[in-house]
Amino acid sequence: MPSISNTKRVKGVSIFRPFVYGSIATPVNPDKKPPNLPPDHTHQWTVSVKGVDGADISHFIKKVQFKLHDTYANPLRTCESPPFEVSETGWGEFEIVIKIWFVPESGEKPQSCFHFLKLHPYIGDKAELDLARQQRRPVLSYMYDELVFNEPTEAMYDILTSKGSAKLPSRARGARGEFTEESEAMELDRLNVGIQIVKENIDKAKETLLAKEKAVAELKAEREKK
Ligand code: SLL
């Protein structure tokens, strides 16, 4: 059997795999402080790189490195296997450099992305932010992105298309993990609902855009009158 090449590339093909990176941070409750927590540490947080909806990404990602702020001991943290995440405690927000290495068969260079660690609530008006702080709500900051493999090596193409990632979220699968007609129908339903929601959101965004464009046009016309 001819072996699959690590160097020959599949021409004209581009494969992308969605992933999510970001952080969740929880304020430490002063009444329940872990005993070994440094006194100035106010938050517990986890930064991670993961597949969407729990999808496996470890068949094409070899390792992930998180570069923390220099105030941390050993700021370069490396995860050689999933979960690709680092949990820490601290007091401040800073940018984390995330570097992703792919399996050697891919012949790909590592890719970097940047995540600003968020500890404090930042979405909502003042009252909402105050409430979130008061209730010590976890602060989530996640980005959806896609890893794009242009003209992947034959080996990488094989890995990407035959392993893990091709599978749909497990919820609609049969007990042994296989697709049954029923579970496929359920999955289809779920996808259709998702598509419907996205369509509605696009329509709403279009409406907003139209209204704003109209407002701009009116403002311009008014200015020209003056
Ligand atoms: C700031 N420019 O001033 C940022 C830096 C650094 C946060 C934030 C370290 C914890 C430890 C920590 O929380 N560093 O002492 O290990 O807000």
CATH at 162: 2.60.40.1970
Answer yes or no: is 9 within a domain.
Answer: no
Answer yes or no: is 8 within a domain.
Answer: no
Are 205 and 146 within one domain? no
Rounded distance, CA 187 to CA 169, Å?
8
> In degrees rounded to 5, what are phi and psi of residue 187?
-60, -40
| Domains identified in the chain, total number | 2
Structure tokens of 137?
Answer: 């709500």
Are 117 and 197 within one domain? no
Mean pLDDT over 165-185 rounds to: 51
The residue contributing the CA closest to ligand 1 atom 17 is 92
Give 206's pLDDT tier (boundaries 50, 70, 90).
confident
Answer yes or no: is 6 within a domain.
Answer: no
Rounded distance, CA 61 to CA 49, Å?
10
Helix, strand or coil, per DSSP, at residue 32? helix
For the segment 12-42, what is each residue's pLDDT rounded down to a tens digit? 989 999 999 999 999 999 888 888 999 999 9
- The average confidence (pLDDT) of the chain is 87
CB of 120 sitting under 6 A from ligand 1: no
Instruction: Please report which helix (H) or strand (E) contains residue 161, including its range.
Output: helix 154-162
For the segment 102-123, what is each residue's pLDDT rounded down to a tens digit? 999 999 999 999 999 999 999 8
pTM of the entire predicted model: 0.73
Structure tokens of 87?
Answer: 């949990």
Show the domain range for 165: 14-174
CB of 94 sitting under 6 A from ligand 1: yes
CB 153 within 8 A of CB 31: no
Are 183 and 132 within one domain? no
Are 123 and 185 within one domain? no
Are 188 and 168 within one domain? no
The residue contributing the CA closest to ligand 1 atom 3 is 92
Structure tokens of 166?
Answer: 């091709």
CB 171 within 8 A of CB 53: no
Q: Is the model more confident about 195 or about 88?
A: 88
Are 142 and 186 within one domain? no
Answer yes or no: is 2 within a domain.
Answer: no
127: Cα within 13 Å, side-chain hemisphere = 0
Atom of ligand 1 nearest to the CA of 71: 9
CB of 179 sitting under 6 A from ligand 1: no
